[in-house]
Amino acid sequence: MVYQPGANNPFAIPSKHGEMPTFVVRSSKPQLPPVDVILEHAQVVALPMRTRFRGITIREAMIFRGLKGWGEFAPFVEYDDVEAANWLAAGVEAAWQGPPPAVRDTVPVNATVPAVPADQVGEILARFPGATTAKVKVAEPGQSLDDDVQRVAAVREVIPTVRIDANGAWDVPTAIEAIAAIGDVEYVEQPCATIKELAAVRRVVGVPIAADESIRKAEDPLLVAQADAADIAVLKVAPLGGMRKVLALNTALKLDVVISSALDTAVGMAASVSAAAALPMLDHACGLGTGVLFERDVAPSFVPRHGSVRPRLIQPDDELPLASPERTAWWEDRLRRCHAILMTR
């Protein structure tokens, strides 16, 4: 199909001054704008973090403007193109389709506590005013179980409801030992790497198990539920391919759901918050307060107030902390490869 410039072109974005673009582009996917249309309004940002999180101190992201707003493409740099292509689908959905209808206007969020020493916990929690649930990272490489126990204890002094996330780092015996040592928690997210191990831990421990990587990195995201391996599904909009994908998964999984960020900038966070606002049922706080972990965001971050954030559309700041030309070229190449993958799906 050839898209001509102007009104009949479903992907054409008027410039800031209202003129239609002058390109002629080819695309065979009605839902996917041609790659040059995406890149025409794209910028790559490098955002400094206030606290190292998941080994990241500078969060790079590509953001682009579409017909319905802004989208984000920010797969973690180590992800391969097949996995990263889901993130592009999510960004395109946000920018060209916009959010699904909301059923609530506030979304409760948890405080997110990176694997910091216990004496830094108070400073982190102060960034999440009103949060009644905290998610604490545990099992960080190079740290001990005692570090986790102390960090969680320091959090509990301020916020009694604690969930922990081991990112699949424990084997089954270590998970059972660590969960017993850490004590009462709302749930344990991804204690072990595999679905089989999650099911084994779940059979032994008396606390609910949440699956994150076992859903977003699985070939079949429904397997974890079929294997009775989890009580709660942690769903992330960008890695799972978009807001509507997450809503469909929520229906198919038949588990309690928590929507969590993928260390989204304010643009990606707008999509994540919109997905949470559109869920028919939401019984748990969501991991959508991570904007406060950024030193600088692309627009005012979704800062929790009274423990919640509100869905809204984002207009990025005029002046952004742009990535270097080399990094920008790297992201453009990556987006082109991911776009080619989406063309085959």
Going by the annotation, the residues of the binding site for Mg(2+) are: 165, 189, 212
Question: Residue 226 contacts by C-beta under 8 Å, 6 or more apart in sequence?
Answer: none
Distance CA 12, CA 118 (A): 51
Residue pair 117/98 in contact (Cβ under 8 Å)? The answer is no
Kindly tell me which of 37 and 240 has the beta carbon lying closer to ligand 164.
240
| Residue 13 beta carbon to Mg ion: minimum distance, rounded to whole angstroms | 35
Kindly tell me which of 212 and 297 has the beta carbon lying closer to Mg ion.
212
The verdict on 212 binding Mg ion (CB under 5 A) reads: yes
Q: From the list 9, 51, 167, 265, which residue makes contact with ligand 164 (rule: CB under 6 A)?
A: 167
Question: Residue 15 contacts by C-beta under 8 Å, 6 or more apart in sequence?
Answer: 21
287 binds, among ligand 164, Mg ion, none (CB under 5 to 8 A by kind): ligand 164
Please report how the helices 266-278 and 243-253 are oriented relative to each other, as an axis angle in degrees rounded to 10: 40
135 binds, among ligand 164, Mg ion, none (CB under 5 to 8 A by kind): ligand 164
Instruction: Kindly list the distances between the CA atom of residue 153 and the CA atoms of 78, 117, 126, 157, in Å, as whole numbers in the listed order.
Output: 33, 11, 16, 6
Distance CA 140, CA 91 (A): 30
Q: Which residue, 293, 301, 297, 308, is CA-closest to 115?
A: 293
Kindly tell me which of 260 and 301 has the beta carbon lying closer to ligand 164.
260
250 binds, among ligand 164, Mg ion, none (CB under 5 to 8 A by kind): none
72 binds, among ligand 164, Mg ion, none (CB under 5 to 8 A by kind): none
- Which active-site residues does the annotation give? 137, 236
Provide φ and ψ at 269, rounded to 5°.
Answer: -65, -35
The verdict on 272 binding ligand 164 (CB under 6 A) reads: no
308 binds, among ligand 164, Mg ion, none (CB under 5 to 8 A by kind): none
Kindly tell me which of 12 and 233 has the beta carbon lying closer to ligand 164.
233
Interstrand relation of 161-165 and 256-259 (parallel, antiparallel or unpaired)? unpaired
CA dihedral 230→77→114→299, nearest 10 degrees, is -110
| Residue 226 beta carbon to ligand 164: minimum distance, rounded to whole angstroms | 22
Amino acid sitting at position 325: P
Distance CA 148, CA 154 (A): 10
The verdict on 110 binding ligand 164 (CB under 6 A) reads: yes
Q: Which residue, 342, 318, 339, 340, is CA-closest to 45?
A: 318
Residue pair 261/290 in contact (Cβ under 8 Å)? The answer is yes
Question: In the block, which residue shows the tokens 């008027």?
Answer: 14
The verdict on 197 binding Mg ion (CB under 5 A) reads: no
The verdict on 135 binding ligand 164 (CB under 6 A) reads: yes
The verdict on 27 binding ligand 164 (CB under 6 A) reads: no
Which residue has its beta carbon closest to ligand 164?
Answer: 287
Per-residue x/- track, 39-78, Mg ion (CB under 5 A): ----------------------------------------
Q: From the list 86, 133, 260, 308, which residue makes contact with ligand 164 (rule: CB under 6 A)?
A: 260
Residue pair 294/59 in contact (Cβ under 8 Å)? The answer is yes
Per-residue x/- track, 210-229, ligand 164 (CB under 6 A): --x-----------------
Name the helix (H) or strand (E) containing 113: strand 111-113
| Residue 152 beta carbon to Mg ion: minimum distance, rounded to whole angstroms | 16
Span near ligand 164 by CB under 6 A; candidates 175-183, 255-263, 267-275, 298-306: 255-263
The verdict on 261 binding ligand 164 (CB under 6 A) reads: yes
Binding site for Mg ion (CB under 5 A): 165, 189, 212
Binding site for ligand 164 (CB under 6 A): 54, 110, 112, 135, 165, 167, 212, 260-263, 287, 290
